[in-house]
Amino acid sequence: MSLLEIRGLRVEFDTHDGAPLAAVKGVDLDIATGEVVGLVGESGSGKSLTCRSVVDLVPRPGRIASGSIRFDGADVRAMSQKQLRDFRAHSVGMISQSPFSSLNPVLRVGAQVSETLRVNRGLSKSDAAAEALALLERVGIADPERRLLSYPHELSGGMCQRVMIAIATASHPRLLLADEPTTALDVTTQAQILRLIAEMRSKHTMSVLLVSHDFGVIAQICDRVAVMYGGHIVESGSVDAIYHEPEHPYTRALLASIPNLDAAGQRRRRQPISGHPPELSEALPGCVFEPRCGFAQPECRSVPMVLEEVSPGHQCACPVHPFATPALVERDASKAQA
């Protein structure tokens, strides 16, 4: 049984005219114990809302309209407020994409880490202070005694993110929700943060849902990938399958837009995705990627956005199978050479 099981998740935002706008539309997602799953896609695709739905923290006026979220068999949506608080405190940790806005700017770092330990684990003031020091050491912060007395603005972005990881994992959660944990960090610090998450996952058999728009970040530590677009998961599979055998046109377009080197070591020309992601107010029939898809066919405007298995463990929501059509394959090759 999966540790986390999401079925038919739909997140809507209420509007003044009474017609709700759907931002997440029927998402299914599973995460096994000790597994790292990446959720990748452009900004506005619904990744962060899916992540926040796991702990029932969708910002207002948003709400979970339908669907089920089960954690180790327990129905999260049926939990009382007390059960939800315990669930967030002990079972799930969360790292946001902006550590500076997540930390209280007027409290010292040590006070914030200690408060988490006292509230969530019931430690005494002295035990919490000692554990806070140990946590900062564990996440690789140099001179932790001094940093406990620092304010967030006195730390670098990488250090603040390490503090957030220390707080998020203080209660040894079984699932870590990492929402764009490396945003605005330099490449070296990004690698350090990802290595730290991987180490903690291995040490504590912790599952991780890693949200990102960067395929490079996803590739470093994830076991499986779910590609999200327009509120739907359009493809999911192992990292190798998604990178080397992408089935959905959107996945292929995302991969083609990544700067890379060819076999000769020359920088390969990027292929930007034409058009723009759909607005919440756009009610598109059929495939949501059809307006931007270079392989679009008339039937794409009526096909359901349903994931179908194309190989063991590899699912795709493009039933047209455009890459099996010789004419379209030739057109795709011509576009790539242009």
* Three-state DSSP class for residue 338: coil
Domain with 226, as residue range(s), is: 4-103+173-337
pLDDT at 264: 55
- Provide the residue type at 134 as one letter: A
> Please, how many CA atoms are within 13 Å of residue 206, restricted to the half-sphere of its CB?
29
Q: What is the pLDDT of residues 203-231, one digit of tens each?
A: 889 999 999 988 888 999 999 999 999 99
Q: Is residue 209 part of a domain?
A: yes
Look at residue 332 and tell me whether its pLDDT is greater than 80: no
Q: What is the pLDDT of residues 224-246, one digit of tens each?
A: 999 999 999 999 999 999 999 99
CA 66 to chain centre: 20
Q: Which residues pair with 211 in a beta bridge?
A: 39, 179
Q: How confident is the model at residue 323 (pLDDT cuts 50, 70, 90)?
A: low
Number of domains forming the structure of the chain: 1
Residue 316 and residue 310 in contact, taking contact as beta carbons nearer than 8 Å: yes
pLDDT at 338: 46
Q: Is residue 190 part of a domain?
A: yes
CA-based diameter of the chain, in Å? 71
The rounded percent of the chain whose pLDDT value lies above 70 is 91
- Could you tell me which residues come within 8 angstroms of residue 95 by beta carbon, excluding any fewer than 6 positions away? 161, 164, 165, 168, 176, 177, 178, 179, 181
Gap between the Cα atoms of 250 and 39, Å rounded:
14
From the list 204, 137, 139, the residue with the least C-alpha distance to 176 is 204
Q: Is residue 129 part of a domain?
A: no
Q: Is residue 165 part of a domain?
A: no
Residue with tokens 């926040």: 52
Q: Is residue 108 part of a domain?
A: no
Q: Is residue 62 part of a domain?
A: yes
Gap between the Cα atoms of 253 and 272, Å rounded:
8
Annotate 153-210 with DSSP letters as a single string.
Answer: GGS-HHHHHHHHHHHHTTT--SEEEEESTTTT--HHHHHHHHHHHHHHHHHHT-EEEE
> Residue 38 belongs to a domain with what CATH number?
3.40.50.300
Q: Is the pTM of this model over 0.95?
A: no
The rounded percent of the chain whose pLDDT value lies above 90 is 67
> Beta strand 4-13 with 21-31: parallel, antiparallel or unpaired?
antiparallel
Q: Is residue 113 part of a domain?
A: no
Q: Is residue 267 part of a domain?
A: yes
